[in-house]
Amino acid sequence: MRTQANRRNWGARLVVLVPYLWLFVFFLVPFVIVLKISLSQTALALPPYMPVFDFAAGWAGLMEFTAQLSADSFRLLSSDAIYLLSYLKSLQIAAISTILLLAIGYPIAYGMARAPRSWQPPLVMAVVLPFWTSFLIRIYAWINILQRDGLLNDVLTRLHAIDAPAAWLSSDTAIYIGILYSYLPFMVLPLYAALEKMDETLLEAAADLGCPRWKTFWLVTLPLSLPGVAAGTLLCFIPIVGEFVIPDLLGGSETMMIGQTLWTEFFSNRDWPVASAIAVSLLGLLLVPILFYERLQQRSLEGSR
């Protein structure tokens, strides 16, 4: 068994090593590079930042390299109100839309979980299906509806609800609609998974013990679905903070969300150090929720074991 165990260990090591190395090289190392460049300065060169670390220069090169690092980009982030406002706007939009998603998603998930057993797979399918169509298409579909000569204004003027066409597009309202639309499945599915698992005799037991329906919801259903609430909240909140496409296509130009700011710094201003600094601070901002999400994932997997 010893030699066979050794041979098996090699196979086992390979199974771990291949994806490990891949993620290490293409996920972890890039973050280190981002961190490094966020401490560099802009330069009119290719790549457009300095210092560039030169492996050939050895120890002296490393010393020189460290000496040239600076926190200028971060100083800029904290001093210029544009960036701070951008962060705040992102957090605000993410928080409000997560709450809205929860408010809309919970009744849907609850309705699905309480539907007759045979209806449930098609219902899940119905929620997931739009998610398989392109994200970009779904956002684009809303431009069709929300633009000045779009369908919404058309319908509203015909109904005489408004006199003149309103500007729906390029507003926060449009951003919220786009986010709700794109992220709804991410909220509904974890909630449904939690609610569907729930033993229905618990509700019967509560009713049997004299608990009215609304109170049963507060005392039994909601507490038991909290893991689903947490998963859905994190699954929506974290990516929404860094969202780019939705605010870019549907939002206005007054205040940008942080993802847009990063994009502009990078693609328009070609300021790689500042873009990196934005990424680093954004990641720092989201570190706590991300770690929380990871613990939740781990625990749910161990729980189902």
Partner 1 sequence: MADGGEAAQNNAANEQSPLVRFEAVTKRFGSVAAIESFSLDIAHGEFFALLGPSGCGKTTLLRMLAGFETPTEGRILLDREDIDAVQPHRRPVNMMFQNYALFPHLTVERNIGFGLRQENATRAEISERVTEMLALVRLQGFGRRRIDQLSGGQRQRVALARSLIKRPRVLLLDEPLAALDKKLRAETQFELMELQRRLGTTFVIVTHDQEEAMIVADRIAVMNHGRLMQVATPSEIYERPNSRWVADFIGEVTIVEGRISASGAMDSALGQLRVAGTSGAKSGGTVWLALRPEKIGMSGERPAGELNKVPGTISEIGYRGDISIYKVRLADRSLMKVALANVGVRGNARFKAGDLVWLSWPPDVGVVLDS
Partner 2 sequence: MKRGASSFNIISAVLGLAFLYLPITILVIYSFNASRLVTIWGGWSLEWYRELLRDDAVLQAAWISLRVAVLSASAATVLGTLAAVALTRMGRFRGRLLFSGMVYAPLVIPEVITGLSLLLLFVALNADRGFWTIVIAHTTLTMCFVAVIVQSRLVSFDRSLEEAAMDLGCPPVKTFLTITLRLIAPAIAAGWMLAFSLSLDDLVIASFTTGPGATTLPIRIYSEVRLGVKPEINAVCTIMIAIVAVGTIAASLIAKSGTARRDRAALGAQV
How would you class 171 by CB atoms within 10 Å of its CB: exposed for 0-12, middle for 13-18, buried for 19 or more? middle
30 lines the binding site for partner 2 (CB under 8 A): yes
Q: Which is nearer to partner 1, 3 or 253 (CB)?
A: 3
Contact 263, 248 (CB under 8 A): yes
304 lines the binding site for partner 2 (CB under 8 A): yes
Chosen residue from 203, 230, 252, 270 binding partner 2 by CB under 8 A: 203
CA 131 to chain centre: 15
Q: Which of residues 284-303 bind partner 1 (CB under 8 A)?
A: none
Judged by CB under 8 A, how many residues of this single chain contact partner 2? 96
DSSP state of 218: I
Chosen residue from 87, 142, 183, 192 binding partner 2 by CB under 8 A: 142
What element of type H or E holds 92? helix 81-114
To 5 degrees, how large is the angle CA 179–CA 183–CA 184? 110
Stretch that binds partner 1, among 1-9, 14-22, 61-69, 204-212 (CB under 8 A): 1-9
Q: Which is nearer to partner 1, 7 or 75 (CB)?
A: 7
Out of partner 1, partner 2, none, what residue 143 binds, judged by CB under 5 to 8 A for its kind, is partner 2
Count of beta carbons in the 10 Å neighbourhood of residue 145: 16
Q: Which of residues 55-94 bind partner 2 (CB under 8 A)?
A: none
CA 165 to chain centre: 33
Chosen residue from 1, 28, 60, 288 binding partner 2 by CB under 8 A: 28
What amino acid is encoded at 96 in this protein? I
Alpha helices by DSSP H, listed for 209-252, are 213-216, 222-241, 245-250
Chosen residue from 190, 242, 247, 251 binding partner 2 by CB under 8 A: 242
Out of partner 1, partner 2, none, what residue 1 binds, judged by CB under 5 to 8 A for its kind, is partner 1
2 lines the binding site for partner 1 (CB under 8 A): yes
144 lines the binding site for partner 2 (CB under 8 A): yes
DSSP state letters, 29-80 = HHHHHHHHHHTSEE-SSSSSEEPPP-GGGHHHHHHHHHHH---HHHHHHHH-
Q: Which is nearer to partner 2, 66 or 297 (CB)?
A: 297
DSSP state of 169: S
Q: Which of residues 3-62 bind partner 1 (CB under 8 A)?
A: 4
CB of 262 to partner 2, least distance (A): 5
- Residues forming the site for partner 1 (CB under 8 A): 1-2, 4
